[in-house]
């Protein structure tokens, strides 16, 4: 076990197990998180004690193999080796602070929300609200029993603690304050920007952030967003509307890929560096803008346009042709080359 200074010291397993009652709050939360997330058990005091005894025994076994590992090291190993139980939930009629903290931490970490942003007041508020909601749908009946006395029967509420905790965390997200954005939202923003770019759509940062939040929180699916973007693209690119509608998921960029490949080949660049929002390229895709009566330019027209642009002048093809023209001119002038 580690001493006050963090150094590992040898102690009898029975002595360490007796220290359960003196474990810190953070240690109790760690045990509770494991019971909820990995073992899918109700984190009673007895269950926490049993888990603690188990990881102490694990540390003893590791010591006998010559490994200096604390019980908490063993717990981390168990976490890493455990199968995922993300889709399973445990519901309780009554929560204590340790259990509610563990659940809140688990959900926050799963969506990439910084748990340090949750204040003590937040955690107390969550504890009060989750107990209120857990009991709201339940039914408690107190009745007299034969032989005297009373008994109380409680019917568990149809309550999903995981969904409740997720909704509580998402309510803490403030789009105007980037520090509250979970990593899942930030990662989604990049994907949404790429999807917008591929459809020639431009939205403001707050709009992109809201869409990303809607997807990450489950309010909307990515397929729904793709369909909405496709409808927008069809209105912006009437020339391509029928094709976009006929092939769900098709983006404007994919639809005009032959045109873009032609330009990239002429300019000797990666096709992915070409921006369909470039006014010059946009005019090739939709010559008459949003009127949509003129189709995109043909491959021949696109190539002739591409080789007339400044980007072509620095290509090996353009340089080679210039050299050949210079040589031909020199020979024609009798310079003997």
- The pLDDT tens digits of the residues spanning 35-56 come to 776 666 667 777 788 888 888 8
- The pLDDT tens digits of the residues spanning 152-172 come to 555 555 577 888 889 999 999
Give yes or no: residues 161 and 202 share one domain: no
Give yes or no: residues 50 and 79 share one domain: yes
Q: Is residue 327 a part of any domain in this protein? A: no
| Residue 276 burial (CB count, 10 A) | 20
Shortest CA distance to 337 belongs to which of 304, 44, 325, 130? 325
pTM listed for this prediction: 0.62
Q: How many structural domains is the chain composed of? A: 4
Share of the chain above pLDDT 70, in %: 79
CA–CA gap between residue 220 and residue 229 (Å, rounded): 13
- The pLDDT tens digits of the residues spanning 243-297 come to 999 999 999 999 999 999 999 999 999 999 999 999 999 999 999 988 888 999 9
Where does the pLDDT of residue 5 fall: very low under 50, low under 70, confident under 90, or very high at 90 and above? very low
3 has a pLDDT exceeding 50? no
Q: Is residue 45 a part of any domain in this protein? A: yes
* Residue-range definition of the domain harbouring residue 269: 256-321
CA–CA gap between residue 274 and residue 260 (Å, rounded): 7
Q: Is residue 333 a part of any domain in this protein? A: no
Q: Is residue 108 a part of any domain in this protein? A: yes
Q: What is the pLDDT of residue 335?
A: 65
Buried b (16+ CB within 10 A) or exposed e, 45-81: eebbeebbbebbebbbebeeeeeebbbebbbeebeee
248 contacts 254 by C-beta, under 8 angstroms: no
Q: Is residue 36 a part of any domain in this protein? A: yes
Give yes or no: residues 53 and 93 share one domain: no
Give yes or no: residues 77 and 4 share one domain: yes
Q: Is residue 331 a part of any domain in this protein? A: no
How high does pLDDT run on average in the chain?
Answer: 82
């Amino acid at each position: 076990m580690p001493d006050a200074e963090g150094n590992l010291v040898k102690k009898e397993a029975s002595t360490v197990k007796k220290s359960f009652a003196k474990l810190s709050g953070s240690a109790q939360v760690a045990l509770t998180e494991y019971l909820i997330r990995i073992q899918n058990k109700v984190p009673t005091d007895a269950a926490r004690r049993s888990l603690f005894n188990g990881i102490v025994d694990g540390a003893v076994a590791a010591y006998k193999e010559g490994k200096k590992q604390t019980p908490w090291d063993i717990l981390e190993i168990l976490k890493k080796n455990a199968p995922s139980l993300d889709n399973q939930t445990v519901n309780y009629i009554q929560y204590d602070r340790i259990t509610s903290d563990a659940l809140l931490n688990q959900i926050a970490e799963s969506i990439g929300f910084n748990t340090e942003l949750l204040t003590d007041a937040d955690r107390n508020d969550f504890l009060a609200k989750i107990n209120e909601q857990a009991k709201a749908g339940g039914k408690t009946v107190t009745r007299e029993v034969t032989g005297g006395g009373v008994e109380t029967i409680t019917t568990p509420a149809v309550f999903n603690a995981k969904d409740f905790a997720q909704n509580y965390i998402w309510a803490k997200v403030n789009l105007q304050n980037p520090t509250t954005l979970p990593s899942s939202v930030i990662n989604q923003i990049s994907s949404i920007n790429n999807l917008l770019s591929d459809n020639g759509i431009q939205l403001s940062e707050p709009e992109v952030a809201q869409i990303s939040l809607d997807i990450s929180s489950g309010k909307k699916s990515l397929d729904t967003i793709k369909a909405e973007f496709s409808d927008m693209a069809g209105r912006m690119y009437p020339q391509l509307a029928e094709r976009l509608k006929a092939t769900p998921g098709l983006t404007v960029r994919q639809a005009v890929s032959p045109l873009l490949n032609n330009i990239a080949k002429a300019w000797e660049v990666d096709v992915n560096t070409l921006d369909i929002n470039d006014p010059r390229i946009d005019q090739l895709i939709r010559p008459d803008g949003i009127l949509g009566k003129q189709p995109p330019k043909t491959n021949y027209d696109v190539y002739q346009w591409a080789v007339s642009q400044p980007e072509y002048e620095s290509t090996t093809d353009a340089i080679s042709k210039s050299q050949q023209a210079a040589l031909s001119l020199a020979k024609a002038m009798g310079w003997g080359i």
